[in-house]
Structure 1
Amino acid sequence: MLSIRTRKWFAPEILKSFPCSFLRSSGISLAVIVTTFGLLSTSVRAEDNALNAEETRTLRNHLVATAQKEQVLDEAIRELMSQPATPESTALAQELELQKDRLEQEFESMATRLNLESTRPKGTGKPDWFKELEDLTLPILRSIREMTEKPRTIDALKYQTEVMEAQIPEYELAHKHLLELKQLESNTGGKAADGNYLQRLQDLLPKYDPEVLKLKIRKNRENIERLSSSDKSLIETVTDEIRNFFKNRGRNLIVTGFTFFGLWWILTRIRKWVVGTRLLSSLSPGFSKLFSAGYNLFAITFCLAAAMGCLFFFNDWLLISVLVMILLLGIWTSRQWIPKFLKEIKFILNLGTVREGERIIWQGIPWQVVDIGLFATLNNERLQGGEIKLQVSELIGLHSRPVFPGEPWFPTRPNDWVLLADGSYGRVENQTLEQVVLVLKGGSKKYFSTIDFLHQNPVNFSDGFRYCIEFRLEYSLQDKICNEIPALFAAGLRKKLHPRFEGSAPEFSRLSVTFDHADSSALNLAVIVHLDGRCAEFHEELKREIQGTLVQICNENGFVIPNERLTINLARGEDESSPLALREESPAPKNRV
């Protein structure tokens, strides 16, 4: 069955926009324009089976009417074009041309019973900036197109062949329908008024001839076979393209490269000379860095401009486009980290929260900021391998302060003897940013991460230390405990340990024996000995030596070291020697250091 869709071609807005005087001056009657825009446009869909005679005649009448509409529009357009050109007449002519194009498309669609909407050309709709970008990249695209011309041609021919092979059944059906319409005209006899309709049918017959399509397919296959037989290997193709590139543009590229790097070298030498002058060396480091940054920016801009000028001189638009694309790509990709880069610039110019020559805490360890450039250089003189370079971004969020004279950078040095909070006592063998190795007495080693080592609150004995020994005596010496007894013990210690008190740099630098306090069972002396850091290795041995010397002095003078006693009194009449008579003696408390 025949399905018919109709719509009206009428544009009242266009008619309202033109004054009546224009219509009269153009020589076109209002009735003709209204008739032109009021004509019906019909789109016909047919089913797979052949049309019967009545449906064919109905289709013919619609085609004849469409051809007449086209003829009316064509006459109206020619009449408008013969008149003096005005904005109104030009706009009306363009609108009529669009109407005529639609009618031609619908005539072809109804005659062939094919949906031609998908084959209609569509506008690209490219904005102006896209066209500018396309013009800029045209040399690059042209070079890529030349490199890939053969594979693209083969692929395009294969695609066209596949499309035409799929269209053969449709073209055969369309050609059959056109022949039916022409045969109908031959049987009934065409009228003179249908000349335009007959001419349109005659024009469509060769266009939808399947034999022409098959001929094109055979020609495409021959071209594909010819191009494929002359294919080179990938290595040969790449080698030829590289050879052609350097043959044609090698000189331009070399001269441009020499110009860029030569100017950069010269300007760098000038910067070093200017920065080394007495004028800039007397200024603040912050101003010197600001001058260097501005000079470097000027230098890179000048070098790029010179390189671009060389390419302009050689008229090498391909390399110019490549250079511009690289610059644009760099600017486009840098938009994300420009805020972060500006923060880093403040540090590089010595204007941030971390400044050169000051002290910061990084990873729990104090460091001195030596230099801030493309990288930040930190130094800790106490650590082995104590210089490290960081990215400037790692300084963001940190704060520095001026260095106090004589301020330590780490609690210990290699070969120092330390006592830790966990009771470990040993010599520092290695201390780096990552770990500290402690050699205990006997040669065993104990490993700490640097942060854990600092958390142990190390006590460094290598710079000097002292003993503070509490020594107990009985109450029978009460009348001598304040003067005679301390002097006696001091003289005895100096006598028995005299090698350690002699020399220009004695091991025991100071000795003090005084009465400290009295408790419930004894009188306590405070024996204080100051030792040089050289004795740190024998910290425990010297402690025992001093305590032994104190006991020897007691033995020589008959002094009794009291013990704490617990006495249990038995009931009357019981033998005091009974096992129930208990006496508990505890040793004197250990001397406290």
Structure 2
Amino acid sequence: MKTKIYRILPVIAILFAILLFHSPTSSIAQTETLTSVPAMKSTESLVDQHTSQAETLANLLQYKSELEKQIEDTKKLLKKPPHQMDKEALAAKLNDLKQQLHNVSQNFIKVATGLDLAIFNEDSQHNFVWQEEVETLVRPLLQELKEMTKRPRQIERLKSRVAYFESRLPRAEEAVKSIDTLIAAAKSPALKTELGTLRADFEKRKTNIDNQLDVARFELAELTKDKQSFYESTKKVMAVFFKSRGKNILLSILAFAGVFFFFRFVDKVFKKSHPAFKTKERPFYIRLIEVLLLIFTVIAATSASLFTLYISGDWFLLSIAIIFIIGALWTAREGFTRYYEQVKLILNLGSVRENERITYNGVPWQVDRLALFAKLKNPALDPSRIRLPIGKLENVVSRPVGKNEPWFPCMIDDWVILSDGVRGKVVSQSPDMVELVQRGGTYVTYQTSDFLGLNPKNMSRNFRLKSVFGIDYAHQADCTSGIVAQAKEFIAAKLEEDGYTEHVLNLNVEFESAGASSLNLVIIADFHRDIAALYGRLQRALQRYSVEACTNFGWGIPFDQIVVHKAE
């Protein structure tokens, strides 16, 4: 039963791409690529890297100490009873400082270890939002997709951060220089004090931006330093894939094939051992058993494949398989009516029944067997059997076979004449093509349905020739008696003279009609099928005999005449 599989082809393509370019260990491989130091680096490169790393850590540590001091100072100010608005501003500033301290601490660990502590946080791995009823099923798939794009997303995010801090750092430096200029120009001590406080604040901002820029540059350098070519990346991913998920897919396919062919083997053994399967008219319960066994075979094979993935613990592949099955079932629901009709055909309850006659593509067939594939036969063709999907017979109606009903108008080596004038011997006739060979060796090929549409006249089961000739009206008195007898005797002698007598089944000459200019006689000759190949020669011979008879007996052969009447 055919499924509209084309609707889920895009989904299949995406899932296959995921399988091909990802593996269970890809996240680990990426982490190692991002954080580990390659063993093949030169000593100078390692020293430069460690020096830069140490300088960044020192700056972060210093900034961390300043933040801790500011937090303590802010907490002391909050203990005093300031104005309500000042208190809210100090609380907001304290929260901001704590957030900065947290970020600096995280950045310090990142630079020192090359790891993000978020990977050790189990709760963060389960931060997933989706519809509750499919969350467990879809989560592994989406997590793999997210992990697969982690590296390019991190690189893009870090590039954006670097660009952001690089654009803000000059502005902060300009602000500090502007404040320094104002301090130098100010004469009021109070103004200098206020400007000094503002300068300290912007100096801290500049330091924070500088530190954040160093961290972002360091992380970006770590991510891009070990960039591999597409070929190397693909080769590595393929190697890991076939070592892990490739094995699981292979086991799953083997499980499906093993269970499926086992039950098909059981089905075959059962059919050979049970006599009801061997009868020409199979009972209904036998057909029902076949359908149920086929359905059970598919379900059992699919369950075995899914169970293999479950045992292997590969939830990613298991999720993909379940989503694929659900998608196929969801797509198949639209064709439920069609499938119901096909099941009726298989059970021999539909419009087509076994051992009855149908016409398919203009050719008659006998229905030999109805199953997932219908088997049709026509004993007059070679090959005599074809196999069709059961869905092809949905709109076909069968009928009982007639007792003496032919299956084809001719057989191999028969001579036929078609309505288009072609005459030849049949040398090949199959369900698709019929080939004729004409006298002289020319081959003519027709599609079988077109051949039948040309109403072939088979001459290989004896044939009749009729040849008409006319005599003058001067012989009107004897044309229906003496002349007819003389013509028959003369033509019979000519046939014997040419060696055709033993192939002539019947010969007669009769008066046919009175024409405008002649009295027409007809030669009627029935020949045996053995000389069907000489059809054209015999037709010409009869015309020749009639002319010779006219010459021999002095019968005038008229020609068309025009009578002109003179007006008075």
Regarding TM over 0.5, the answer is yes
Tell me: CA distance 1:69–1:298, structure 2 relative to 1, closer, same or farther (3 Å).
same
Alignment-mate amino acid for residue 136 of structure 2: D
Q: 1:74-473 alignment to 2 at 5 Å? A: 130-143=131-144, 149-165=150-166, 209-245=205-241, 247=243, 255-276=251-272, 277-282=274-279, 284=282, 288-335=286-333, 337=335, 339-382=337-380, 388-428=386-426, 438-444=436-442, 453-470=451-468
Tell me: CA distance 1:147–1:402, structure 2 relative to 1, closer, same or farther (3 Å).
same
Alignment-mate amino acid for residue 154 of structure 1: I
Gaps of 5+ in 2: 1-81, 97-126, 183-188, 192-196
Higher helix share: 2
Q: Following TM superposition, by how much is the alpha carbon of 1:416 offset from its aligned partner in structure 2, in angstroms?
A: 3.5
SS in 1 for 2:538: helix
SS in 2 for 1:497: helix
Alignment-mate amino acid for residue 223 of structure 1: E
* Partner of residue 115, structure 2: none
Aligned-partner Cα distance in 2 for 1:131–1:238: 36
Gaps of 5+ in 1: 1-62, 72-102, 109-125, 181-185, 189-200, 572-593
Alignment-mate amino acid for residue 139 of structure 2: L
Aligned-partner Cα distance in 2 for 1:351–1:294: 16
* Partner of residue 51, structure 1: none
Q: Following TM superposition, by how much is the alpha carbon of 1:330 offset from its aligned partner in structure 2, in angstroms?
A: 2.9
Q: Following TM superposition, by how much is the alpha carbon of 1:319 offset from its aligned partner in structure 2, in angstroms?
A: 3.7
SS in 2 for 1:137: helix
Count of residues in correspondence between the two structures: 437
* Partner of residue 510, structure 1: 506
SS in 2 for 1:529: strand
Q: Following TM superposition, by how much is the alpha carbon of 1:536 offset from its aligned partner in structure 2, in angstroms?
A: 2.0
Contact 1:175 1:209 in 2 (8 A): no
Q: Following TM superposition, by how much is the alpha carbon of 1:538 offset from its aligned partner in structure 2, in angstroms?
A: 1.6
Higher RCO (Cα < 8 Å, 6 or more apart) = 2
Alignment-mate amino acid for residue 157 of structure 2: A
Q: Following TM superposition, by how much is the alpha carbon of 1:400 offset from its aligned partner in structure 2, in angstroms?
A: 3.5
Contact 1:174 1:208 in 2 (8 A): no
TM-score normalised by the chain length of structure 1: 0.57
* Partner of residue 5, structure 2: none
Which shifted more, 301-310 or 242-251?
242-251
SS in 1 for 2:218: helix
Contact 1:507 1:531 in 2 (8 A): yes
Aligned-partner Cα distance in 1 for 2:489–2:535: 22
Contact 2:380 2:408 in 1 (8 A): yes
Contact 1:478 1:523 in 2 (8 A): no
Tell me: CA distance 1:263–1:385, structure 2 relative to 1, closer, same or farther (3 Å).
closer
Aligned-partner Cα distance in 2 for 1:150–1:305: 36
Overall identity of the aligned pairs, in %: 29
Q: Following TM superposition, by how much is the alpha carbon of 1:498 offset from its aligned partner in structure 2, in angstroms?
A: 4.5
Contact 2:172 2:202 in 1 (8 A): no
Q: Which whole-Å deviations, capped at 9, do the CAs of 1:109-165 have from their partners, x for residues lacking one? A: xxxxxxxxxxxxxxxxx9986245343233344455555554443333223333444
Alignment-mate amino acid for residue 135 of structure 1: T
Aligned-partner Cα distance in 1 for 2:465–2:396: 42
Alignment-mate amino acid for residue 162 of structure 1: A
User: What is the CA RMSD across the aligned residues, in angstroms?
Assistant: 5.2
SS in 1 for 2:131: helix
TM-score normalised by the chain length of structure 2: 0.59
Q: Which whole-Å deviations, capped at 9, do the CAs of 1:184-232 have from their partners, x for residues lacking one? A: xx979xxxxxxxxxxxx99xx7998342132111111012212322334
Q: Following TM superposition, by how much is the alpha carbon of 1:398 offset from its aligned partner in structure 2, in angstroms?
A: 3.6
Contact 2:276 2:282 in 1 (8 A): no
Aligned-partner Cα distance in 2 for 1:520–1:316: 97
Q: Which one has a bigger Cα radius of gyration?
A: 1
Aligned-partner Cα distance in 2 for 1:245–1:568: 101
Q: Following TM superposition, by how much is the alpha carbon of 1:292 offset from its aligned partner in structure 2, in angstroms?
A: 2.1
Contact 1:175 1:208 in 2 (8 A): no
Aligned-partner Cα distance in 2 for 1:498–1:457: 33
